[in-house]
A and B are shown apart, each in its own frame.
Chain A
Amino acid sequence: MTVNQSSSSPKRALGRKRAASLAGCAVTVLLTVTACGGGTAGKTTKDGFAQAPQKDGALTVWVDATRMDAAKLYQQLHPEVKLDIVSYDGNANGSNYLQTKVQLFNRTGKGWPDVVFSSQNNETSWAVDAGFAAPLNKGLISESTLGKFAKGANDVCTVDGTVYCLRNDLSQAVLWYNAPLMKKFGYTVPTTWEEYQKLGTKVAKEHPGYLVGDAGDSFTPEIYLWASKCGANHITGPKSVSVNTTSENCTRMATLLDVLIKNKSMSISGVFSTDFGKNKADKILLMPGPAWYGGAVFKDTLKVPAQQIGAAPMPQWQGDDAPSTGNVGGGTWLLSQHSTHLKAATDFLKWVTTDNAYQAEKSPGFPAYAPAAEAWLKQQDASGYFAGDLSALSAAASQVWPEWGSGQFSQEAIWAATVKPGLTQGKSIVSMLPAWQDSIVKHAKSNGYKVEQ
Chain B
Amino acid sequence: MTLGHSASGSARRRLSGTDRQSRAGIAFVAAYVLLLIAFGILPTGYAVYFAFTDAGGTFTGFSNFVTTAQDFRFMDAVGHVALYLLFWLVSLVVFVVSLALLLHRLASGSLSRSLRFLFYIPGALAGAASVLVWLFMLDPTVSPVSSLLGTLGFDTFGEVIAPGNLPLLFTVIAFWTGAGGWIVVIYGALNNIPTDVMEAARIDGAGAWQTAWHIQIPMLRKWIVYMVILAFAGGAQLFVEPQLLSLASVGVAGRDYSLNQLTYDFAFQMNNVNGAAAVSVELLVVSVSAAAVFVARSGFFDAD
Instruction: Indicate whether A416 sits within 8 Å of B252 (C-beta atoms), given known contacts A274-B157, A278-B141, A424-B158.
Output: yes
Q: Is A93 an interface residue (CB 8 A)?
A: yes
State whether the Cβ of B286 lies closer than 8 Å to any Cβ in chain A.
no
Give Cα distance in the complex from A270 to B250, angstroms: 10
At the interface, yes or no: A159 with Cβ under 8 Å from chain B?
A: no
- For residue B118, CB closer than 8 A to chain A, the reply is no
Is A275 interfacial (CB-CB < 8 Å)?
A: yes
Q: Is the CB of A420 within 8 A of B71?
A: no
> Secondary structure at chain A's binding surface: helix, strand, loop or mixed?
helix
What distance in Å separates the Cβ of A442 from its nearest Cβ neighbour in chain B?
Answer: 4
0/1 interface trace, chain B 217-232, chain A, CB 8 Å (1 if under): 0000000000000000
On whether A93 and B251 interact (CB within 8 A), knowing A10-B20, A25-B34, the answer reads yes
A2 to chain B, nearest CB (A): 14
A109 close to chain B: CB less than 8 A:
no
CB distance from B250 to the nearest CB of A (A): 4
Q: Does B79 contact A (CB under 8 A)?
A: no
Which of A99-107, A197-205, A350-358 has 4 or more CB atoms under 8 Å from chain B? A99-107
Do residues A425 and B162 form an inter-chain contact, with CB atoms below 8 A? yes
On chain B, the residues within 8 Å of A18 by CB distance are 27, 30-31
Q: Do the beta carbons of B251 and A416 come within 8 Å of each other?
A: yes
| Residue of B whose beta carbon sits closest to that of A443 | B72
Chain A residues within an 8 Å CB radius of B214 = none
Smallest CB separation, A273 vs chain B (Å): 7
Q: Chain A residue with minimal CB distance to B143?
A: A274
Is residue B18 contacting chain A, with contact meaning CB distance below 8 A? no
**Which of the segments B103-111, B171-179, B262-270 contacts the partner chain?**
B262-270
Task: List residues 107-125 of chain B with CB under 8 A from any CB of chain A.
Answer: none
CA gap between A410 and B250 in the complex, in Å: 12
- Residues in B whose Cβ lies below 8 Å from that of A81: none
If A96-B268, A130-B271 touch, whether A25 touches B38 (CB-CB below 8 Å) is: yes
B252 and A29 contact, CB distance less than 8 A:
no
Complex: chain B residue closest to A217, CB-CB: B250
Closest to A36 in B: B46
* A446 interfacial by beta-carbon distance below 8 Å: yes
CB of A340 within 8 A of chain B? no
Interface-central residue, B30, B31, B252, by most chain A CB under 10 Å: B252
Contact at B38–A100, with CB atoms within 8 Å? no
Instruction: Convert B71-83 into 0s and 1s, putting 1 for each residue whose CB lies closer than 8 angstroms to a CB of A.
Output: 1110000000000
Given the contacts A93-B250, A99-B269, A416-B251, A14 and B31 also touching, CB distance less than 8 Å: no
B252 touches A95 (CB 8 A): no
* Cross-interface CB contact of A420 among B34, B37, B158, cutoff 8 Å: B158
Rounded to whole Å, the gap between the CB of A99 and the closest CB of chain B is: 6
CB < 8 Å: which of B30, B37, B72 contacts A22? B30
A29-B34 contact given A269-B156, A274-B139, CB 8 Å threshold: yes
Which of chain B's residues has its CB closest to A419's CB? B252
Q: Which residue of A lies closest to B136 (CB)?
A: A274
CB-based nearest B residue for A11: B20
- B27: A residues at CB distance < 8 A: 14, 17-18, 21
Number of interface residues of A (CB under 8 A): 52
Smallest beta-carbon distance B277→chain A, Å: 13
Once bound together, how far apart are the Cα atoms of A25 and B34, in whole Å? 6
A210 to B23, CA, bound (A): 77
A121 CB to closest chain B CB (Å) equals 17
Q: Is the CB of A412 within 8 A of B163?
A: no
Query: Chain B: which residue is nearest A219 at the CB level?
Result: B250
- Chain B residues, CB < 8 A from A17: 27
Cβ contacts under 8 Å, A410 to chain B: 251
B141 proximity list for chain A (CB < 8 A)? 273-275, 278-279
Q: Which of B25-47 contact A (CB under 8 A)?
A: 27, 30-31, 34-35, 37-38, 42
Contacts of B38 in A (CB 8 A): 25, 28-29, 32
Q: Could you tell me the distance between the alpha carbons of A416 and B251 in the complex, rounded to whole angstroms? A: 5
Q: Which residues of A contact B162 (CB under 8 A)?
A: 421, 424-425
B145 at interface (Cβ–Cβ under 8 A)?
A: no
Cβ–Cβ contact B253 & A421, under 8 A = yes
Cβ-defined contact, B255 with A413, below 8 A? yes
In the bound assembly, the distance between CA atoms of A29 and B33 in angstroms comes to 12
Number of interface residues of B (CB under 8 A): 38
- Once the chains bind, are A421 and B252 in contact (CB under 8 Å)? yes
Verify if A255 is at the interface (C-beta below 8 Å from B). Answer: no
In the bound complex, CA of A126 to CA of B269 (Å): 9
Question: B120-156, CB under 8 A of A: which get 1 and which 0?
Answer: 0000000000000000000111100000000000001
Instruction: Give the contacts of A254-301 with B (CB-CB under 8 A).
Output: 268-270, 272-275, 278-279
Q: Which residue of chain B has the shortest Cβ distance to A10 in the bound complex?
A: B20
Q: Whole-angstrom distance between the alpha carbons of A29 and B31 in the complex?
A: 12
Q: How far is the CA of A280 from the CA of B77 in the complex (A)?
A: 36
In the complex, which residues 410-453 of chain A have their Cβ closer than 8 Å to any Cβ of chain B?
410, 412-413, 416-417, 420-421, 424-425, 442, 445-448
- Chain B nearest CB, measured from A202 CB (Å): 26
Selected from B42, B140, B247, B256, the residue in CB contact (under 8 A) with A95 is B247
**Is B24 on the interface with A (CB-CB < 8 A)?**
yes
- Kindly report which residue of chain B lies nearest to residue A277, judged by CB atoms: B141
A19: min CB distance to chain B, Å: 9
Please determine whether B163 and A421 come into contact, CB atoms closer than 8 angstroms. yes
Once the chains bind, are A94 and B42 in contact (CB under 8 Å)? no
Smallest Cβ-Cβ distance to B70: which chain A residue: A446
Chain B residues with Cβ below 8 Å from A446 are 71-73, 270
Across the interface, do A417 and B268 meet the contact criterion of CB distance under 8 Å?
no
Report Cα–Cα, A336/B186, bound state, in Å: 53
Given contacts A274-B141, A424-B156, contact A25 B35 (CB under 8 A): yes
Q: Using a CB-CB cutoff of 8 Å, which residues 1-39 of chain A contact chain B?
A: 10-11, 14-15, 17-18, 21-22, 25-26, 28-29, 32
A89–B251 Cα distance when bound, in Å, is 13
Q: Which of B56-100 contact A (CB under 8 A)?
A: 71-73
State A388–B245 Cα separation when bound (angstroms). Answer: 41
Interface flag for A346 (CB, 8 Å): no
Contact (A32, B251) CB under 8 Å given A25-B35, A130-B271: no
Of the listed residues A28, A425, A446, the one surrounded by the most CB atoms of chain B closer than 10 A to its CB is A446
Q: Is the CB of A417 within 8 A of B270?
A: no
Known A21-B27, A275-B156, A424-B159: A412·B251 in contact at CB below 8 Å: yes
Bound CA–CA A29/B270 (angstroms): 29
A sample of 6 more A-B contacts (CB under 8 A), given A32-B42, A92-B250, A425-B162, is: A96-B268, A100-B269, A103-B268, A421-B158, A421-B252, A446-B73
Q: Can you list 27 A-B contacts with CB-CB less than 8 angstroms, sorted by A residue number? A: A14-B24, A17-B27, A18-B30, A18-B31, A21-B30, A29-B34, A29-B38, A32-B38, A89-B247, A94-B251, A95-B247, A100-B264, A130-B271, A272-B250, A273-B141, A273-B156, A274-B141, A275-B141, A416-B251, A416-B252, A416-B255, A417-B253, A420-B158, A421-B162, A421-B163, A424-B156, A425-B162
Closest 5 CB pairs of A and B: A416-B251, A25-B34, A100-B268, A424-B158, A18-B27
